[in-house]
Amino acid sequence: MVTLNINGEQHELDVPDNMPLLWAIRDVVGMKGTKFGCGVSQCGACTVHLNGTAIRSCVTPVSAAKGEITTIEAMAEDPVGSKVQQAWLDLGVAQCGYCQGGQIMNATALLKRTPNPDTSEIVDAMAGNLCRCGTYNRILAAIERVAGKEDQA
Amino acid sequence: MSRSDDKLLLANVSRRRFLMGLAGGSALVLAARWDMPLANEKAQFGAGAMPGGWVDDPNVFIHIDSDGTVTVVNNRSEMGQGIRTSLVLLAADELGADWDRVKVRQAEANQEKYGNQNTDGSRSMRHWYDPMRRAAAAARLMLEQAAANQWSVPLHEVRTDIHKVIHIPSGKELGFGELAKAARGLDVPGRNDLVLKTADELRFIGRESGYINGKLESAYPKAIDGEDIVTGKAIFGADVEVENPLYAVIARPPVYGSKLESYDDSETLKVPGVQKTLEIEGTGQPAGFSPLGGVAVVATNTWAAIEGRRKLKIQWDNGPAGDNASYTSESYRKALEERAQSPGRVIRENGDVEGALKQAGKTVSATYYMPHMAQSPMEPMVATVVVKNGEAEVWAPVQNPRATRDTVAGRLGMDREKVRVNVTLLGGGFGRKSKPDYAAEAASVAQAFEGRPVRLQWTREDDIHHAYFHAVSVDHLEAGLDSDGNALAWRHRTLSPSIGSLFAPDPEHKGEFELGMGFNTMPFSIPAIRLENPPAPAHVRIGWFRSVYNLPHAWAIQSFAHEVSVAAGRDHRDYVLELLGPGREIHNLTVGDGWNYGEDPDMHPIDTGRMRAVVEKATAAAGWGKELPEGRGMGLAFHHSFVSYTAIVFDVEVDDSGNVIIHRADIAFDCGRQANPERIHSQLEGACVMGIGVALMSEVTFKHGVVQQDNFDTYLLPRMPDAPKEIHIHLMDRQDEPMGGVGEPGLPPVAPALCNAIYAATGKRIRRLPVGDQLKA
């Protein structure tokens, strides 16, 4: 048995130790906000937070997911995450939306670590998250919008 | 406007049953139906010529509950183009609905009821703008009539305000919810009795609200799925809740046409969670939308299925694949380049090209290459199917619900009516999800587990190995110039395997709809023009990729036009404006066998005046001709596709290490009348970024018939650092022109504009895509 702490709730799962966290979250726990995009840590669609750090759940075995796991479903209650979500809505970032949960998770982790990143820090931090619709300019603007807001706070 | 009873048809009560399932007994609906004076089946062009045609019955699309909630049915697939917001926005605006009280319901596959649902060809808005507005205008008129009846006042004394109807003299009001029941009993007005709102009465349509060129103009109205997307609640293909599902993946033949010989699943069955393996029958070549065959591994979770597949030992028989098993990209490219040296089937001929080339003082020639690519939407293909009691239900992210329904029905040996297809959100499509092969695969697996839902998941490797590949292409051009640099002759040979090979024995030549994508319609005014199409066989599944054959045609024509201008010693912009000549209309049927995106060439000719205008706009906005630092340059390209016009100017720097830095993109776009400018901007931004991938990094290669790339570490897509630092979009004000496409036309000019800019920055001419490390030498 493996115990996962997801968004503050304990889940006891009967899964192999090497099952990637992504599939445990999606197929076993049944939370669908975290997406499968590549399975090899190349696209970022599966990004979740482990103890506040953005990780790729598709290559993280459940045995290594010790601590607090946070997913996109919990971002509305997160003070930074909710601002990021609002900026995404304000700027109409999403096209198909499939990658955007992972983008928001990655952006939120960045802004928690670095509340006022400069443009090159944002671009570097977000380079691991693919968006086939090509929404990068709006993602960047949305992150800068949150960073600007935090400045004024 | 006449509203006399004799112009109205009685409601057909039996058609009210569609209400079932919508908000229970309190739901009210505008139940009546149109007469259909404009018969779809007589149409030769446009929406009416599509299978299923259009429908403008308010019964079908607009429902009003007694609490005032307006539900608009969206019949097109949402894949990021924003159609769920934009179509609903049309209805809400025309109806006068409060955006916050409008919901959307996604239509299931039913072309008889909803009209054409094939979400492809940049057609959704241009084909559904009028029907959707008419449906909403009819509903509005019925609400007004219901209010007038209740107040016993003449209809002309009432008008609709936001979500309510007002009696003008007295100021009395009734909400949409209060009127819904009475409106339901009324007859539907005839089309001729409808008065659509004028531009100044509209709140949303055609307005540049939202985030426009880096500035938040107004946040209203918000995208209909926006909130669900940012909170992780949006339902994509793999997110559908079904009871007790099984999960499956399939090992497919590595070469197109090869077949399963034998397999050993002993290690597979030891993987915890794996339930069963089964052979999936392939249908050979041409594959169409049918599965490729292979071995399915079925498990209690996706991971177990993937692990189990990894442990299969499979023998494939490449015999049935024939030549496909020796298909290698490098040698195929050389073979096409060789063939491009000889004449091919003549598609268009004006004047004597061979004579003019001989007499020309100067000739220019070049050969351009574009590789295979995979569409690779971020959501890999997935479908969930349950087969039970001779019926099937499908949940899948599909662009073509009707083809999905028919393909699954065919696979299961059922009648179409026994198959229900529920369309989820698509995590991107780009043409890949027009092909419902994955739904048919899921159906085959589900058939073996009667009554139990099966979710068939593609991995990213599956996606890249088994795409319906964008056709590889070689284009060879030659031009003859006089001593002043004026173009006298233009010869273009285009070679690509045809999508026709997917559905029928390989024609080895491009079909009309492929040539019509910017090849036979080459717009330059040159005395001698000869366009040829030598043969090119297909060895893989060839399919459409966003903007399709416009990609290689624009890449070659727009690169070559620049090369010719350089040879003539002239400014690129000035030269192409001269080549375009004075504004004139090119009727596409006068320039060889071709296709006009299904639209009437009289209504949608190629207007070189509109083409000139986007070129002038983009270059002016970019500051064309201004001094730039060393290592930096501007490049231009333009193209007509999907009956819209696009011009792009890139401002590009190539650093000492050969890295391409895109400082700015200026995109001028003319799609005629605009419905939702904010989503037009987002589509153009996205097409620009996708096109940068086409230009700089995306390539699928084959060796002995097998794809050499596996995942995003080798099949490269643009990332945030690759995007332009700034994208500026300039929408042309053409509200009086008929509507053109939006989703695709932004893509074709990107690669040539970028490579022309690279030339301007470095003097290095790119003729083979992607750029890759060609600048790093």
Residue B57 sits at the chain A interface (C-beta within 8 Å): no
Q: Is the pLDDT of residue B10 over 50?
A: no
Residues B304 and B272: their CA atoms lie apart, in Å, by 7
- Domains B5-207 and B237-320+381-457 alike in fold: yes
Class of domain B237-320+381-457: alpha beta
- Among residues A72, A105, A133, the one where a domain terminates is A72
Q: Which of B378, B576, B620 is nearest to B479 (CA)?
A: B576
Confidence of residue B215 (pLDDT cuts 50, 70, 90): confident
The pLDDT value given to residue B591? 76
Give the CATH number, domain containing residue A29.
3.10.20.30
The CA-atom distances, in angstroms, between A13 and each of A5, A26, A30, A89 are: 11, 12, 12, 35
A and B: number of Cβ contacts within 8 A: 195
Domain ranges of chain B: 5-207, 237-320+381-457, 329-374+468-762
Q: What tokens appear for B625 in the block?
A: 């001709």
Q: Which of B513, B589, B609, B587 is nearest to B553 (CA)?
A: B513
Choose the CATH number for B5-207 among 3.30.365.10, 3.20.20.70, 3.20.20.390, 3.40.440.10: 3.30.365.10
Same domain as A66, residue A14: yes
What is the pLDDT averaged over residues B532-555?
98
Strands (E), B282-344: 294-299, 313-317
Residue A20 sits at the chain B interface (C-beta within 8 Å): yes
Strands (E), B112-163: 158-161
Residue A99 sits at the chain B interface (C-beta within 8 Å): yes
Residue B459 sits at the chain A interface (C-beta within 8 Å): yes
**Strand B173-175 relative to strand B246-251, pairing:** unpaired
Residue A150 sits at the chain B interface (C-beta within 8 Å): no
**DSSP letter assigned to residue B763:** S
Confidence of residue B593 (pLDDT cuts 50, 70, 90): low
Neighbours of B12 (CB within 10 A): 12
Give me the sign of the Cα torsion angle B759, B763, B765, B766.
negative
**DSSP letter assigned to residue B9:** B
* Secondary structure string (H, E, C) spanning chain A: CEEEEECCEEEEECCCCCCEHHHHHHHHHCCCCCCCCCCCCCCCCCEEEECCEEEEHHHCEHHHCCCEEECHHHHHHCHHHHHHHHHHHHCCCCCCCCCHHHHHHHHHHHHHHCCCCCHHHHHHHHCCCCCCCCCHHHHHHHHHHHHHHHHHC
Number of domains in chain A: 2
Residues in chain B: 777
The sheet with strand B246-251 has its strands ordered as B274-280, B294-299, B246-251, B454-457, B382-388, B391-396, B419-423
Same domain as A134, residue A85: yes
Query: What residue of A is the nearest CA neighbor of B665?
Result: A137
Same domain as A103, residue A68: no
* Secondary structure string (H, E, C) spanning B493-524: EEECCCHHHHCCCCCCCCCHHHHCCCCCCCCC
Chain B contact probe: residue of A56, A89, A137 with most B CBs at under 10 A: A137
For chain B, give the mean pLDDT.
93
Contact state of B80 with A34 under an 8 Å Cβ cutoff:
no
The pLDDT value given to residue B17? 27
Contact state of A28 with B717 under an 8 Å Cβ cutoff:
no
Same domain as A126, residue A137: yes
Q: Which of residues 69-88 of A touch B (CB under 8 A)?
A: 71-73, 75-76, 85, 88
Same domain as A12, residue A48: yes
Residues of A in contact with B119 (CB under 8 A): none
The pLDDT value given to residue B32? 38
What is the least distance, in Å, from the CA of B265 to any CA of chain A? 20
Instruction: Tell me if B8 sits within 8 A of B34, measured CB to CB.
Output: no
What is the least distance, in Å, from the CA of A152 to any CA of chain B? 18
The pLDDT value given to residue B2? 33
Same domain as A15, residue A65: yes
Q: Is the pLDDT of residue A80 over 70?
A: yes
* Secondary structure string (H, E, C) spanning B233-294: CCCEHHHCCCCCCEEEEEECCCCCCCEEEEEECCCHHHCCCEEEEEEECCCCCCCCCCCCCE
pLDDT tens digits for B346-369? Answer: 999 999 999 999 999 999 999 999
pLDDT tens digits for A81-97? Answer: 999 999 999 999 999 99
Query: Exposure pattern of B173-190 as b/e (b: 16+ CB <10 Å)?
Result: ebbbbbbbebbbebebbb
The pLDDT value given to residue B44? 87
Residue A35 sits at the chain B interface (C-beta within 8 Å): yes
Confidence of residue B20 (pLDDT cuts 50, 70, 90): very low
Q: What tokens appear for B184 in the block?
A: 């339901």
The pLDDT value given to residue B16? 28
E strand or H helix at B481: strand B473-481
Domain range enclosing A107: 74-152
Instruction: Tell me if A51 sits within 8 A of A67, measured CB to CB.
Output: yes
Same domain as A81, residue A116: yes
Q: Is the pLDDT of residue B19 over 60?
A: no
Query: What residue of A is the nearest CA neighbor of B216?
Result: A91
Confidence of residue B38 (pLDDT cuts 50, 70, 90): low
Same domain as A88, residue A52: no
Q: Is the pLDDT of residue B218 over 90?
A: no
pLDDT tens digits for A4-16? Answer: 999 999 999 999 9
Asked whether this complex has an ipTM greater than 0.90, the answer is yes
Residues of A in contact with B711 (CB under 8 A): 38-40, 42
Same domain as A58, residue A113: no
Residue B221 sits at the chain A interface (C-beta within 8 Å): no
Q: What tokens appear for B256 in the block?
A: 């197109």
Task: State percent of chain B over pLDDT 70.
Answer: 94
Residue A108 sits at the chain B interface (C-beta within 8 Å): no
* Option in A38, A73, A128 nearest B711 (CB): A38
Assign a CATH topology to domain B329-374+468-762: Aldehyde Oxidoreductase; domain 4 (3.30.365)
Give the CATH number, domain containing residue A93.
1.10.150.120
The pLDDT value given to residue B660? 98
The pLDDT value given to residue B41? 56
Residues B446 and B558: their CA atoms lie apart, in Å, by 49
Same domain as A147, residue A116: yes
Q: Which residue has the tokens 């057609």?
A: B123
Residue B370, classed as helix, strand or coil, is strand
Residues of B in contact with A148 (CB under 8 A): none
Same domain as A85, residue A141: yes
Q: Is the pLDDT of residue B7 over 80?
A: no
pTM above 0.90, yes or no: yes
Residues ≥6 apart with Cβ < 8 Å to B596? B45, B516, B588, B589, B604, B643
Instruction: Please report, as a single letter, which amino acid is at residue B251.
Output: A
Instruction: Please report, as a single letter, which amino acid is at residue B438.
Output: Y
Question: Which spans in B40-123 are helix H?
Answer: 58-61, 83-95, 111-114
